[in-house]
Amino acid sequence: MPAFDDETFGPVAAITRVQDVDAAVAAANASQFGLSSNIWTRDVALARKIARDLYTGGVFINGVTASDPRVPVGGVKNSGYGRELSHFGARTFVNAQAETAPAPIGDSLLADPVLSLEGFRALLSDHRPKITIAYETVARRMAPHASGVPKPSGDGFLTAAQLFHALNEVRPPNAILTEESSSNRRDLHKEWKVTEPETFYSAASGILGWSLPAAVGIALAERDSGRNRPVIAVIGDGSFQYSVQSLWTAAQLRLPILIVVPRNDEYCILKSFAIFEETPGVPGLDIPGFDIVSIAKGYGCDAAHLDDLAAIKKAAIEAWSKSKPTVLEVPISPQVPPLL
């Protein structure tokens, strides 16, 4: 009948009796129009299931069709194209510029990330790794450096090497390290031996603040997989500022991560860059005044300011038995290393 087949905007309702829910969905989707649909029922869970099968621009459960500036409005099929309201509607009125950066290796791809991942998943569904043997456990995976007990700084502060040496003495052999303390990386390589695969994660370049959320994700994966290897995140006080909100996620998930912040009150690696580029006096590279302990406690973590190696070792050992993250702020000597 015309009232059922046409798109009416008046006080008219066409009632059709069908056998079951599947028949009702089929009848609704058979229309050439699809602006919105309404489901009236006492079973809201069933209504949500039905809503996913209806091909219309909007579905309203136990309510009439309405609009809200926060929600996109629009139809499908012969009921229109595109959306009004929300950020979807705003995009209709802008000119989006597509830009890709040249890839040093391979190709640059401009695409929706979700659709891209779905496409890659389909392409790789039958892929099998070529490696069929177990990883070989090696004595050392980092660049060789001279061993030995690190020397004191002479200015009353611990050196980064002393800090890493102390942590290495008490950490479990299968502990996972995520590292983002660029100016201290040379000392870390010297003091922290990596002897098991998949226990050391560091950025190649260009991604600031990645280490803290990476540690959260790794710790969550360790718990969910049942491996439960302890996770240590070493992140400088400069990089720490980029993703500090990850502490909240770690605390909410009750992850026993040890987060060590070597604090030298400066963006030290950029000072190294400035020396290398012969551009001294770059402003904004000194960052004093942060209360990292209070910030960490505010996000729900245990936290302490420690400058004694014995206390640092004790706090590190205790951290992995807790049901929350532990943040250790350790002041270190403000030494600017050479970039190369």
pLDDT(102) > 70: no
Beta 76-77 vs 33-34: how paired, if at all?
A: antiparallel
pLDDT tens per residue, range 301-338: 999 999 999 999 999 999 989 999 999 999 998 877 77
Domain boundaries, the chain: 2-91, 160-331
Q: What is the CATH number of domain 160-331?
A: 3.40.50.970
DSSP letter for each residue of 82-144: S-BSHHHHHHTTS-PPP--PPPSSS----S-HHHHHHHHHHHTTT---S--SPPPP-S--SPP
- The mean per-residue pLDDT over the stretch 11-27 comes to 88
For residue range 45-71, list pLDDT tens digits in order: 999 999 999 999 889 999 888 888 888
Residue 209: strand, helix, or coil: coil
- CB-based contact 200:194 (threshold 8 Å): yes
* pLDDT of residue 137 exceeding 70: no
Backbone angles phi, psi at 152, to 5 degrees: -65, 160
pLDDT at 150: 59
Residues with Cβ within 8 Å of 146's Cβ and at least 6 positions away in sequence, in order, are 190
pLDDT of residue 101: 61
Q: Domain spanning 2-91 has what CATH number?
A: 3.40.309.10
Q: Would strands 76-77 and 59-61 be described as parallel, antiparallel, or unpaired?
A: unpaired
Q: Poorest-confidence range of 22-31, 149-158, 324-333?
A: 149-158
Which one-letter amino acid corresponds to residue 175? A
Do 2-91 and 160-331 come out as alike in CATH topology? no
Distance of CA 93 to the CA centre of its chain: 31
Whole-model pTM? 0.58
